[in-house]
Structure 1
């Protein structure tokens, strides 16, 4: 077999795989007849781009050793086919393709562990690799691609056709983007790694009228962060309460239930519980960031770049607090060792990533209790629980839903078909989470430190089980993904249950005020003191890797580019789609207020 024939057979394989998933994308995204020409043209261009390196390798192969040329051709083909398959598997699980967020997971220490893959996943992957390589060898051996290619029109006609396809799909997208044509924009979302070309200014010059999707936009200014706008060393704590800050992975609002989490539910009933509390993000990064900084998640990237610690942590350190943090994940992913806990020493950061999440939680809870009971006061301690993280593991004694999926393998499980069994795994894992939170609460009571300790118990974000069409988190801003439990224990504060809108953004201001520090929250956050009689929040902001979403008492207005692709741009508060015409005057006023204030902490 010559190198030319080998390259042609590999090109045919890539083309067929691309075609297969173009059909999958067309069906799953309900591509209509009007947008089908754009969709076909875009996929033809994409398939050609995938195959282009094979042509380059074939040309270079004339000057390279034969074995190396064949090896490079096979390696590239296997790699690109694997990436195409991985892309669509990722999309079927989470609703997005390989992007900068996924690359961050892969390249950041601790990121792969955060995905929750298990031994069964790796075995299945190995099995698929063996089968895939066998099918690849058989295809290359027997597919007579050279006969197919020899029947193609002359090269110049093929190139002309591809050029026309490129121009057609590029112009179609540019006009659709300018006129907010949702059909074509949605069709482009079905194409992995689609490279959009926009030309709004040029189209305006041609007299083509554009139309914003909703007539409203909001952008974060970016640049150098001006945070905090107060010197932490000048803040003297008057009430030296200990602080125990407990955050549970993927803990959504309706899990705090008497049957699922009896101990935590009882504790909430005797303290302050916020019933309509929103995380600051639909993923761990933004959900954690917002509750310590009180800043919108869109500030994460600049805070990380500048290595700024939260005002709350700086104030505690300046007032000689003992500091210790525990996690059943890793502090390196997301990069909390460079943000929230950047001023902690290695001895003050304890991570445990061996075994299932519930096993790590048990070990860490034991260490946390030992720290609470044997550390000089005042102290701050933090704990991140992993029990409720996918794949949702738990010991037998925490099975309260026996009808659960026994083996949850990402690669081998039909999520939609088994979603009830998957959710039951989640419920059981939350029952185990309850047992560990109960251990901490009991320790504080028995050690006599409860009356001198602020306790924060919340989740980093929620978890969806196809209620709005997705599984997991980090995809959209549905209620299930962004609403979390919120419990506060403040010494001297009576028990209460609040139904008003509250946010992670309020936590720094609330804790600082409870410590007796009376400063204007506007100097360091977008939050307010939850305990103030004048507390009122007209809106909150929930963020992901790609942008913000405004949440008012009535609507959600999505500005994140990824979330816009996966869902609706504007919905009611319970995620029912609406249009810009349905936005009431008060909510438009709120959005204007957000736009004016979003860059407050930039110079």
Structure 2
């Protein structure tokens, strides 16, 4: 038994160096930093991640030491070669597309007609076959000649202990870099497959009292992003004089715009461009707001955060002389909008209060906007963003309880479809309250005469579900109640219109930039289109932390873009019931072909 164990450790130690070589190829194919400590971290994380693979392989193979010697070697060989081939295939995907093996890749490969649509070429095919055969030969030789590998037990133990210590050092090191937001390290977490960083931000904030939102000001010298694709060119500036006000109400879903729940917004919609088939780019705040101001799929959020990359829209508006006022009822440090969306205009952000009374904060936002406008003396236009949060917390002043609740605080551990009414009514009341505040802002603009030269947008960052399709809240489905939101655009002198063409949050940026005279094609900075000249669209994309949904008028194709969730792919009908018809599923999966290219489009290759 002791000899079997020794042999297992010897084989995995040799495999470690083989896996490390593959990891270094991932490093070579990535965007490399000029900063020394960044390079050191990336190399340490390669060693750490390679060891984690070996550690798992060792654990998997431990039970087989009780078998015959031949069977033990067979299981070691099979588990090792499966891992090595997986890493090689993933390396190819990373080299071409810039991301790792995920459900989208599986979905494409398992769709009939894939190999007719994708031609790798003879050279690529032969090279792939050669490399896989080479791995097989290496692994056969390692397993066969393992008894002749003369590693003394004490040296094997020393190497394993060193790798354990190095892995611990790397994880703790990353945690420290993460606490202090040192992005020249934190942005490299996606180089290696299945890499798991260690984060202790909550512990650092609560126990160690460290300001985790503090930036170290370290400038990123290189980025893996190719955004925008070309220099932004402004030619026609005919519309630049209009002010732009964007009002976002957290969790405001599409069916809330009516005379009962939102009488003020409902009236505004009657004199506006009312986009009635509109979807957020995410089913949570982080990804909804990201898609709104970047015009990109939420899939890109992680790398834009790691690279501290701001959106094109604010740089363009700054160049045109716009002034900014960003008002939020919640701190914009989490989600990390100060490090992404508003990173280039930090002086314009107001998101702190002297009160914990959330409904009062909503009212303070209105007062702050009025003060900003009353004191505004510039002859240049302004861009303002107001973010209301009441429906997310389902809080509101008592006088706005239009819909009956039981007056008790909800116990979310026992909430279900049968006792959801009171919770939903609290949501309705909070929407009703924010509607009152939006009406106050709109009437104020009217009294000031600003509606003659101000574009007003009213929307939600995502929806909110109350078991209409089997879920509660948001961030857990891509059904219409969590992703479909109102999008109302009051545009001076434009005839009111109800628009049923499918639109998305990522259409907002191209629309604004077209209005202010940007001449670049939309693909230079966005996946969207001009909402006032919208071509017929078959589907939209909505994402969250690790999943995306391809949404059309009859179905949602749900899939994961994380490697460890590669088998997560499900098709739902328009009522969010799972579809089992294979032909229908394969038809929808065809869309993955173009999507996989778009998921790598704004990365450097």
Q: TM-score range by the shorter chain?
A: 0.5 to 0.7
Q: Tell me, what secondary structure is at the counterpart of 1:579?
A: coil
Q: State whether structure 2 residue 543 is matched by structure 1 residue 540.
A: no
Q: How does 1:511-526 map to 2 (within 5 A)?
A: 511-526=512-527
Deviations 1:307-336 (A, max 9, x none): 111111110111111111000001101110
Question: CA 1:592–1:236 in 2, change beyond 3 Å: closer, same or farther?
Answer: same
Q: 2:270 aligns to what?
A: 269
Contact (CA 8 Å) 2:107, 2:569: kept in 1 or not? no
SS at 1:388 equivalent: helix
Correspondence for 2:27: none
Hey, what's the Cα distance between the residues in 1 that align with 2:301 and 2:81?
Answer: 28
Give the direction of change, closer, same or farther, for the CA distance of 1:501–1:411 in structure 2 (3 Å limit): closer
Inter-CA distance 456–567: structure 2 relative to 1 (3 Å threshold): farther
Cα distance in 2 for residues equivalent to 1:234 and 1:525:
16
Q: Residue 227 of structure 1: CA displacement?
A: 0.8
Report what 1:396 is aligned to: 398
The answer to whether the 8 A contact 1:551-1:573 is kept is: no
CA distance change for structure 1 residues 326 and 568 in 2, over 3 Å: closer, same or farther? Answer: same
Which residue does the alignment assign to 2:558? 558
Q: TM-score, normalised by structure 2?
A: 0.61
Q: Is the 8 A contact 1:275 1:498 kept in 2?
A: yes
Aligned mates of 2:265, 2:364 — CA distance in 1: 19
Using the alignment, how far apart are the partners of 1:284 and 1:197 within structure 2?
Answer: 41
C-alpha displacement at 1:561, in angstroms?
Answer: 6.2
Q: How far apart in 1 are the matches of 2:233 and 2:351? A: 26
Q: Quick check: 1:378 aligned with 2:387? A: no
Q: Residues 212 and 523 from structure 1, CA distance in 2 versus in 1: closer, same or farther, beyond 3 angstroms? A: closer
Q: Is the 8 A contact 1:507 1:527 kept in 2?
A: yes
Which secondary structure does the structure 2 equivalent of 1:384 belong to? strand
Give the conservation status (yes or no) of the 8 Å contact 2:234–2:519.
no
CA spacing shift, 1:407–1:415, aligned 2, 3 Å: farther
**1:453-464 aligned within 5 A:** 453-464=454-465
Q: Indicate the SS of the match to 1:342.
A: coil
User: Which residue is equivalent to 2:474?
Assistant: 473
Asked whether 1:358 is paired with 2:369, we answer no
- 1:531 alignment partner, SS class: helix
Q: Where do 1:128-143 residues align within 5 Å?
A: none
> Is the Cα contact below 8 Å between 1:538 and 1:590 reproduced in 2?
no
Give CA-to-partner distance per residue, 1:507-552, whole Å, 9 cap, x none: 00111122233331111100000101x5222221100000322113
2:445 maps to 444
Shift of 1:349: 3.3
Q: How do 1:198-277 residues align onto structure 2 when only pairs under 5 Å count? A: 199=82, 215-216=110-111, 224-232=224-232, 237-239=237-239, 240-277=241-278
Q: Distance in 2 between matches of 1:235 and 1:166?
A: 72
The equivalent residue for 1:577 is 578
1:314 equivalent in structure 2: 315
Measure, in 2, the Cα distance between the counterparts of 1:399 and 1:343: 40
Any idea what the Cα deviations from partners look like across 1:539-592, whole Å, max 9, x if unmatched? 211000003221133321112269989997111233221136142776444332
Alignment of 1:473-512 (within 5 A): 473-512=474-513
Secondary structure of 1:307's match?
A: coil
Q: Give the superposition deviation at 1:301.
A: 1.0
Contact 1:236 1:319 in 2 (8 A): no
Secondary structure of 2:281 counterpart:
coil
- Distance in 2, matches of 1:440 and 1:457, equals 12
Note the residue ranges of structure 1 that are not aligned, 5 or more in a row: 1-159, 168-195, 204-210
The alignment partner of 2:457 has SS state of strand
Q: Aligned ranges for residues 86-101 of structure 1 at < 5 Å?
A: none
1:527 aligns with 2:532: no
Q: Which moved more, 1:514-523 or 1:461-470?
A: 514-523
- Residues 216, 324 of structure 1: alpha-carbon distance in 2 compared, 3 angstrom cutoff: farther
CA RMSD of aligned residues (A): 3.6
Deviation at 1:231, TM superposition (A): 2.8
Structure 2 residue 432 is the aligned partner of structure 1 residue 431: yes
The structure-2 alpha-carbon separation of the partners of 1:164 and 1:465, relative to structure 1 and needing over 3 Å to count, comes to farther
Q: Is the 8 A contact 2:559 2:568 kept in 1?
A: no
Which digits, 9 at most, give the CA deviation of each residue in 1:33-55, with x for residues without a partner? Answer: xxxxxxxxxxxxxxxxxxxxxxx
Q: Using a 3 Å threshold, how does the CA distance of structure 1 residues 212 and 338 change in structure 2: closer, same or farther?
A: closer
Q: Deviations over 1:393-442 (max 9, x none)?
A: 1112222212x142224466544453111001101111001001101111
Structure 1 residues 553 and 413, CA gap change in structure 2 (3 angstroms): closer
Structure 2: where are the runs of 5+ without partners? 1-58, 67-78, 87-104, 115-189, 192-222
* Range with greater deviation from structure 2 (458-467 or 575-584): 575-584
Whether contact under 8 Å (1:274, 1:500) holds in the other structure is yes
Tell me the CA shift for residue 367 of structure 1. Answer: 0.8
Partners of 2:64 and 2:242 lie apart in 1 by 67
Indicate if the aligned counterparts of 2:268 and 2:490 stay in contact, CA closer than 8 A.
no
Contact 1:330/1:352 (<8 A) preserved: no
Q: Distance in 2 between matches of 1:584 and 1:216?
A: 9
What SS does the corresponding residue of 1:516 show, helix, strand or coil? coil
CA contact (8 A) 1:405 1:418 kept: no
Taking the aligned partners of 1:286 and 1:566, their CA distance within structure 2 comes to 23
